[in-house]
Amino acid sequence: DSIGGIKTIVVGPHADLGAVTVDNDNVTAVAGTITMYQYDLPKHTGSLTDNITVSVENGTVFYEQVIAATLHKMTKEDHAELKLLAQNRLAVFVEDVNDNIFLIGRNQGAEITAGTAVTGTAKGDMNGYTLEIKAEEIQPSMFVARSAGQTLDAALEALGSVTVTQGT
């Protein structure tokens, strides 16, 4: 009764997120005022993975949160936005195809660690961007509280002073 994939990422500066309130393992509020950019992904082009890293010798556990995303069509506006995002520590909300919302980089922030901008060669080749965004946290990706039927924008705005702008 669930399927794989993500459909949307919402990205903004981690420094603006502020304190995050968690109740019953759900993010319910953020204290900061943050403007974020929403990118809707084409079908079958994105994923979120939580890798668990354990050191028995050192008694430590952490989670590497990895987002893989593809954005179609290169534009000068996307170039400028992605350049700025790559230079900052990020807070990222991910909406999967099952309508779950996750917060990535809650405490330490996330970073774009790899990516490409590709024109393609043949007419049928992709023209656009691929991104890899990673965070390392003490907890896995956090679910975000969402009411039944609530849109992504409304769910994020209900967390506090979160403004979502459509990415280019």
pLDDT in tens, 71-88: 999 999 888 989 999 999
- Write out the two tokens for 150: 């609530």
Confidence at residue 164, expressed as pLDDT on a 0 to 100 scale: 87
pLDDT digits (tens, 9 = 90+) for 102-156: 999 999 999 999 999 999 999 999 999 999 999 999 999 999 999 998 999 999 9
Phi-psi category of residue 25: left, alpha or beta, with phi > 0 → left and psi -120 to 50 → alpha? left
At 17 the three-state DSSP class reads coil
Reduce the DSSP state of residue 15 to 3 states and report it: helix
The reported pLDDT for the residue numbered 116 is 94
The model's pTM is 0.93
From the list 109, 115, 99, 113, the residue with the least C-alpha distance to 150 is 99
Contacts of 73 (CB under 8 A, 6+ apart): 127, 128
Classify residue 157 by its DSSP letter: H
What's the confidence (pLDDT) of residue 1? Answer: 83
For the residues 10-16, what does the mean pLDDT come to? 94
